[in-house]
Amino acid sequence: MNAVLADSHDLVPFKDKVSEVGRCLSKLQQTQCPVTHRFAPGVYLREIFMPADTVVIGKVHKTEHFNVLIKGACLIVHDDGRREELRAPMTFVSGAGVQKVLYITEDMIWQTIHVTPETDMAKLEEMIVEPCEWAVPQAITIECQKIAEERR
């Protein structure tokens, strides 16, 4: 029976799965993750602090951009439920249309860098991220629960 449910569940796109988890998590008490915005000519840098033992569902970015991990560590849970540790210092490029689901294992500072002359936050949001549609597969939810239990 579980295999049949898992097989039929796999037909649901990753975006829709993340949306469902996001809707469920949005009903819980939210952790504050302070964001700092920095600008240089033609460049926007967004920095977020995420405390340990927090599940973070990132926004879907419309553009390819740099990600820089300044401090800390997390487990990223991929769309197939597989987990991978990301540990600072680290820099990588994230493609357009990617949504990240993270379990923060150590207090983390994460930056994204976007090439744009825009400095108006409302316009930036519209330009670089998809409208907020919570999109997390059950495999990811289960994996995040396992991570939380392992860390107790």
Hey, what domains does the chain have and what are their CATH numbers?
13-150 (2.60.120.10)
Residue 123 in this model has a pLDDT that exceeds 80? yes
Interval 19-78: pLDDT, tens: 555 555 556 667 888 999 999 999 999 999 999 999 898 888 899 999 999 999 999 988
Q: 3-class SS at 103?
A: strand
What is the CB neighbour count within 10 angstroms for residue 56?
A: 19
pTM above 0.75, yes or no: no
**Alpha-helix residue ranges (DSSP H) falling in the chain:** 2-9, 14-26, 121-128, 138-150
Q: Which residues have CB under 8 Å from 88's CB, separation 6+?
A: 69, 70, 71, 72, 73, 108, 109
